[in-house]
Every structure is written in structure tokens, then in C-alpha cells.
């Protein structure tokens, strides 16, 4: 009996890994960088109580503050990237912990900054920005201080909050250590008796496997791995919810939701409108389950059939081919955009695409002001992987443009817009391939990829957002939070989405909440749905428009955090304060269901 296993990190080809030289060229260089930050932090403490002395002193502080913070962020990034690709490496885990500690020390030392700026007076600060050129970029920063004045606490409280961030972050670290290093899964079993290793870097390829028994055993064994630790996971998750509630109350917000959205100047109505619109469009999902069941010729359509391949043979898309097609799809944005993307992915090794043991689940883009962007994923030579690559490169190009065009203070864009550029890339590449790859098998694969993407962002994530809201409200009300309560409520929400068309095991579906580290990011997941909605609206504008639409989109990428999220999206061409963009994105999704339905009726599936 054969078994397909994941290699250890040391055995994967170097060309499939990212180059971290733009952060530090070696672990020794990282150590020197860490020591330099720790040596510079005490000098920042000497400015405490002195910022009101005048614009020169404030300019001196900001100059030293930025220099030290930029190095501290590199120190933190290095370790976090190491453990993302191998959570079993103890030395990397140590460096990640040290990097986080450096940031906490920096933040606690500089916690006096915003309270002292508020004490100086905002009008006076605005005058100082005209007197010292080093302060000239602080206009929006000061406006944000004014908007957030009710939530900025005293120097002493801010310092406590900064110091508390390290122990409070232990919930997230514990979750990652458990799920990426300690959690073990039984192998998936094929109809021929062979086995395939179930790991965080292989689960996505297994759930799209041709062999139904592989898909079923993968789904069951993956869920069972989490269920075996459900009480531990629930305790860790509860700690995170209590952290969110603590932070919200300490900063004088009415709820965790208000605290999360308030940081980005997003009204809570945007969240509630999304959930309402999502529930309205659940019948589209119910229709999709029915069409899929018919296409697969199944008597019963199970949850593990949602991503079953509809074609007998899925197109192979090697990494280099994916980069070519992504580049061609993004060509409307211009030669500079495409050349930067290609060089980053192929020459500068932005992408860690290897499949190896110990690599964390999913995919992400990361980086800081003075480094390349980095993409972590597990590339499996298929259309789904190509789409994920396009998505993460969208994040990376957003970061690249923001860092290139904005000063450090505005180089980080808000989470609300984070999922726009990524989904924009997917929409652009998908549209290009629909027009150029006319083979029916490839067209079918594109429909499957599109629906897989919508399934994640327009089904899984809004469902988890509903669960997340209820869990936070229970924590705020002092109601019990146990593994069984969490799992039952999660299963109830998925039951609404599945309707009568999907057969599922309640407990295994209910544990979905434990399988996403996004639950440690305080109302992040709803932004996948708003992001994909804005992305499709902007992609349509670029595809049907001309130079002006491209200019506005590149302006969006370049804005960073210098403009509030709703405002920068409106300037780019989409108003996210209402439900219209979400409705239109659901219409796009429904068009893919229509395409699939026609292929099924024509006997081409």
C-alpha cells in the first residue's frame, strides 16, 4: 500500500521557497538588528514629557521613532515568516517570540505618544506641521487623533495596554502552535487502498481530489483532528474573545464590533447590511448545490462534494505558466505593474510555494516598509492554486504601491480595503482566461475555480462572521462559551446556508470555527465579502473603461492609509456604504451558476 507524504522543510527545492534577504541576510544579521533596536528604545523613552517643547523636539522624536520602528518591524517579520513555513522549528519559534517581544517593548516605551500629542492640542500640532518639514506629512494622522480622541487613554493606561498586548497575544500563538505543529490527522484513504497524508499544506488539494473516498476521509479526518482538541481550542478562542472585549471596553467602545470597525472609520451599519444581503442571497447557494449534485450524478450531495472536480481531468497549471497568465490578465494596468509582479515572483522570490510538513494552513501576503512583499501558499499545479497566487500577488502589489508612494506613517492600508486588490486580481485573470482559454474542460475548470472562490468569500466567511458576532455578544453579556455551544451555533448557521441540498455531519461542520485563524483577528472575515464585492465593481470598470479607470485604480493601490477606506474606494469608483456592490457581486456569482447549469443541461459535464 502506497502512501503520499509531505517532505520536511529541509528537503524542498530552494526555488520553491522565498528569499528573506530583503529582511536580513542571515540569522546573525537578525540578531544584530534585534540588539540594535533594544539599544535604541531607551533613547526614545527620554522624550517622554518633552514633546510639547516645540516642533523641533517633536520632529527629533518622530525621526528616531520611525527609524527604530522600521527596524523593529523587520525583526518581528523575520521570525513570523520562519514559523509560517515550518511551525515545528524550535529555533524559529524562539526568534518569532523574541521579535514579538521587541515590538511590545517598543510600543510600551512609546505609549506616551498619542496622549502627549492630544495634550499639546490639535490646532497647535497643525501649526507645527508648517514649521518643521519632518512633521509635514502628519495632517491625516492629526485628523485621525481628533476622530479617535474619545478612545485614546492616558499615558499610563496606554502603556499598560501596550504591555498587555504580549500576554494577550499568547492566545493566537497557542492556537498556531497547536494547529500547525501539534495537531495530527489520520491519513486520507483512496478507493485503491493507498493513503495520502493530511496536513495543513495538503488539505486544499485533497478536497478537490477526483477520488470521492479521498475527499470524504480527508474531510472527516481533518474535522476529527480539531474535534479531538475541541475543549482546548474553545478555551483558547474564548480567551481571544475576552481580549477583544477587554480592548473595546478599555478604549470606550460600545462593543467589540464597534471597536473593530471604528479603527477604520467604518459604520457598523456596513457590517449588518452585508449580513442581511448575504442571507437574502442564500437561495443562489441552494441552487448551486442542486446543479452540482446533478453534474456529479449523485444520489446524495455531501459537504465534501462541494469542491469535487466536475471534469475527469483537471488542467495542469505549472507555476511559471500561472505567472504568465496572471501577467496577461493584469496587462490593462500597464507595463510597470506587470514587470514588477513578474520580477518579484520569478526573480526576487517573493513566493514560498513549497508543500512541506509543518507549513501552516492557507495563504497570505506579508512584509513591512523596508522589505519585499512575501507570499506564502502551497502551490499544487492547478487552476485553484493559480487563482490563490493571483489573489496573494494582488495583496503584494497593493503593499508594493502603498510603500512606494506613501511615507512610512501612511504605508499600511486598512483591513477593510485589504481584500479588494487581491480579489480584483482574481477577477481580472479569470475574465482574461474565460476569453482566451476556450477549451470546454478549461472553461469548466474556471467556473469551478470561480465558485470555489465565491464559496470561501461569499459563503464560508459571511457565515463565520455571523458566528463571530454572536460569540462576541455572548462574551460581552457574560454568557457561557464552551466547545459544544460554539460548535452547535456554528452548525446552525451552516445549516441555513446548506438548506436541504447538502448532507453533512453537524459536529464536523460545526467545528469549522476552529479551522480559521481569522477568528483571532476581531471581525476580519466579513471584509472578505465586502472586498470581493468592491473588487468586482472596480474590475468591471477597468475592463469596460479606459485610462481614467486604470488611473483611479492605481491611485487606490498607492493611497495606503492616507485616506479613509470608504473614501478611497469611492474615489476609485465604488460606494460601499450601501448594499448595491454586494448585490451585484452576487449577480456575478449567479452568472457562473448559470454557465454551469447550461453546460450540465447540454451534457458537457
Q: Cell 470561480 identifies what position?
A: 450
Residue 477, burial from CB neighbour count under 10 angstroms (0-12, 13-18, 19+): exposed
DSSP class per residue in 389-412: HHHHHHHHHHHHHHHHHS-GGG-S
Phi, psi of 233 (to 5 degrees): -60, -40
SS (HEC) of 297-360: CCCCCEHHHCCCCCCCCCCCCCHHHHHHHHHHHCHHHCHHHHHHHHHHHHHCCCEECCCCCCCC
Distances in whole angstroms, Cα of residue 502 to Cα of each of 244, 302, 336, 498: 34, 5, 46, 5
Number of Cβ within a 10 Å radius of residue 115: 18
CA–CA dist 604, 443 (Å, integer): 11
Q: Is 392 a catalytic residue?
A: yes
Q: Bridge-partner residues for 374, per DSSP?
A: 366
Cβ(513)–Cβ(487) below 8 Å:
yes
Kindly report the length of the chain: 605
Cβ(277)–Cβ(578) below 8 Å:
no
- The one-character DSSP state at 532 is H
CA–CA dist 462, 506 (Å, integer): 18
Sheet-wide strand order for 3-4: 3-4, 195-196, 188-189
Close Cβ partners of 369 (under 8 Å, ≥ 6 residues apart): 70, 73, 403, 408, 411
CA atoms within 13 Å, Cβ hemisphere of 333: 29
Cβ(48)–Cβ(83) below 8 Å:
no
Sign of the alpha-carbon torsion through 137, 143, 145, 146: positive
Among residues 82, 116, 392, 449, the one annotated as catalytic is: 392
Q: Which residues are catalytic?
A: 392
Amino acid at each position: 500500500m502506497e502512501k503520499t507524504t509531505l517532505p520536511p522543510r529541509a528537503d524542498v527545492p530552494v526555488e520553491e521557497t522565498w528569499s528573506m534577504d530583503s529582511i536580513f541576510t542571515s540569522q546573525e544579521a537578525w540578531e544584530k538588528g534585534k540588539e540594535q533596536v533594544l539599544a535604541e528604545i531607551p533613547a526614545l523613552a527620554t522624550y517622554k514629557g518633552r514633546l510639547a517643547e516645540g516642533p523641533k523636539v517633536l520632529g527629533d522624536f518622530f525621526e528616531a521613532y520611525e527609524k527604530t520602528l522600521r527596524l523593529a518591524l523587520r525583526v518581528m517579520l523575520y521570525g513570523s515568516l520562519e514559523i509560517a513555513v515550518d511551525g515545528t522549528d524550535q529555533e524559529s519559534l524562539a526568534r518569532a517570540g523574541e521579535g514579538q517581544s521587541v515590538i511590545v517593548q517598543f510600543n510600551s516605551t512609546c505609549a506616551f505618544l498619542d496622549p502627549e500629542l492630544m495634550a499639546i492640542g490639535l490646532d497647535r500640532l497643525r501649526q507645527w506641521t508648517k514649521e518643521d518639514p519632518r512633521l509635514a506629512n502628519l495632517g491625516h494622522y492629526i485628523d485621525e487623533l481628533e476622530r479617535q480622541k474619545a478612545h485614546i487613554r492616558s499615558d499610563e493606561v496606554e502603556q499598560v495596554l501596550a504591555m498587555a498586548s504580549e500576554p494577550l497575544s499568547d492566545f493566537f500563538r497557542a492556537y498556531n502552535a497547536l494547529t500547525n505543529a501539534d495537531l495530527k490527522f489520520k491519513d486520507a484513504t483512496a478507493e485503491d487502498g493507498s493513503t495520502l497524508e493530511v496536513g495543513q499544506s495538503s488539505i486544499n488539494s485533497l478536497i478537490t481530489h477526483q477520488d470521492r473516498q479521498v475527499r470524504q476521509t480527508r474531510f472527516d479526518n481533518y474535522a476529527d483532528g480539531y474535534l479531538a482538541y475541541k475543549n482546548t481550542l474553545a478555551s483558547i478562542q474564548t480567551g481571544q474573545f475576552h481580549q477583544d472585549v477587554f480592548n473595546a471596553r478599555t478604549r470606550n467602545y460600545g462593543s467589540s464590533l464597534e471597536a473593530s470597525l471604528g479603527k477604520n472609520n467604518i459604520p457598523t451599519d456596513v457590517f449588518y447590511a452585508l449580513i442581511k444581503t448575504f442571507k437574502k442571497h442564500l437561495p443562489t447557494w441552494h441552487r448551486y448545490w442542486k446543479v452540482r449534485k446533478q453534474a456529479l450524478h449523485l444520489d446524495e450531495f455531501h459537504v465534501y462534494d462541494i469542491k469535487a472536480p466536475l471534469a475527469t481531468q483537471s488542467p495542469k497549471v505549472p507555476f511559471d505558466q500561472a505567472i504568465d497568465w496572471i501577467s496577461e490578465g493584469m496587462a490593462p494596468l500597464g507595463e510597470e505593474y506587470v514587470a514588477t509582479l513578474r520580477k518579484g515572483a520569478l526573480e526576487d522570490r517573493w513566493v514560498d510555494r513549497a508543500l512541506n510538513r509543518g507549513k501552516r494552513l492557507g495563504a497570505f501576503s506579508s512584509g513591512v516598509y523596508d522589505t519585499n512583499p512575501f507570499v506564502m501558499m502551497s502551490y499544487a499545479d492547478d487552476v485553484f492554486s493559480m487563482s490563490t497566487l493571483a489573489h496573494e500577488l494582488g495583496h503584494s502589489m497593493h503593499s508594493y504601491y502603498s510603500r512606494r508612494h506613501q511615507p512610512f506613517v501612511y504605508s499600511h492600508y486598512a483591513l477593510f480595503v485589504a481584500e479588494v486588490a487581491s480579489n480584483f486580481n482574481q477577477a481580472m485573470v479569470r475574465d482574461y482566461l474565460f476569453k482566451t482559454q476556450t477549451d470546454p474542460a478549461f472553461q469548466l475548470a474556471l467556473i469551478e475555480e470561480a465558485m470555489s472562490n465565491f464559496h470561501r468569500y461569499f459563503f464560508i466567511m459571511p457565515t463565520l462572521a455571523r458566528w463571530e458576532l454572536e460569540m462576541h455578544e455572548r462574551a460581552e453579556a457574560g454568557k457561557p462559551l464552551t466547545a459544544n455551544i460554539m460548535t452547535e451555533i456554528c452548525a446552525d448557521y451552516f445549516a441555513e446556508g446548506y438548506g436541504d441540498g447538502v448532507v453533512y455531519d453537524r459536529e464536523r461542520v460545526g467545528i469549522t470555527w476552529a479551522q480559521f485563524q481569522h477568528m483571532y483577528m476581531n471581525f476580519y472575515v466579513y471584509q472578505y465579502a465586502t472586498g470581493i464585492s468592491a473588487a468586482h465593481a472596480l474590475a468591471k470598470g477597468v475592463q469596460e473603461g479606459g485610462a481614467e479607470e486604470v488611473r483611479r485604480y492605481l491611485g487606490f493601490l498607492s493611497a495606503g492609509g492616507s485616506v479613509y477606506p470608504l473614501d478611497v474606494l469611492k474615489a476609485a469608483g465604488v460606494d460601499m456604504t450601501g448594499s448595491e456592490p454586494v448585490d451585484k457581486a452576487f449577480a456575478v456569482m449567479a452568472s457562473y451558476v448559470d454557465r454551469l447549469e447550461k453546460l450540465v443541461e447540454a451534457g458537457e459535464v
